[in-house]
Amino acid sequence: MYTDTNIHEGAIAGTSKQALTYIKELQSKNFTTDILLLNTGSHDIKRDKTTHQIRVTSEEYEKNLNKILTIAKVIATTTIRITTTLHDEKRHNELNPNNDRLEKENEQYHQIALEVTEKNNIPTIDLREFTKHIPGETLVDHIHFTEEVRERQAQFILEELLKKNYHL
């Protein structure tokens, strides 16, 4: 059964601005965790179909990531970035009535995130590369993966966490 993942609650989905607000809230509640998984960028690159304005500029995205990682170092023993997956630009932009996503911006934000996480010595799980090699139809709509693909992605992430011994 398909669940509408466009609904943003708590740590699920949303922009880096929303992630920053959420992690600040966690810090204000003295929340701590052993592992924090971070995946941002896909919602930041949405462009309004009418105004063509991007939700979060690349400069703001970089600042948000740096602020998130500063807080993450306080609340989490280990922070790990999970790379943003590729998407089918043509399919997304045809099927989504409200916004466009450009693959060149997806790649730009991916590179920004890699630079920021490397600078901060944050390890990365490359879900982008893993997902790129899954054969067949992988999407249920314009951007969301099929249940089978999501299960394979979750298994991959778990295996990477176990392989690197992140104290699960």
Question: What average pLDDT does the structure give for the chain?
Answer: 90
In this prediction, residue 142 carries a pLDDT of 82
First vs last C-alpha separation in the chain: 29
Q: Please, is 60 exposed, middle or buried when counting C-beta atoms within 10 Å of its C-beta (0-12, 13-18, 19+)?
A: middle
Are 73 and 115 a contacting pair, CB within 8 Å?
Answer: no
Q: Which of 10-14, 132-136, 142-146, 164-168 has the highest mean pLDDT?
A: 132-136
pLDDT (tens digit per residue) in 48-91: 999 999 999 999 999 999 999 999 999 999 999 999 998 888 98
* Single pTM value for the model: 0.88
Query: What's the CA gap between 13 and 67, in Å, rounded?
Result: 18
Domains in the chain, CATH or no CATH each: 16-163 (3.40.50.1110)
Evaluate if residue 4 carries a pLDDT over 70. Answer: no
In this prediction, residue 5 carries a pLDDT of 42
Sign of CA dihedral 98, 151, 109, 65: positive
Enumerate the β-bridge partners of residue 125: 82
Joined together, the tokens standing for residue 17 give: 């601005």
Provide long-range contacts, Cβ within 8 A and 24+ apart, for 48-53. 48/98, 48/99, 49/97, 49/98, 49/99, 49/100, 52/100
How many Cβ atoms from other residues are within 10 Å of residue 36's Cβ?
23
The full DSSP string for 6-57 is TS-BTTBS--HHHHHHHHHHHHHTT--EEEEEE--STTTT-EETTT--BSS-
In this prediction, residue 9 carries a pLDDT of 52
The phi and psi torsions of 67 (rounded to 5 degrees) equal -65, -40
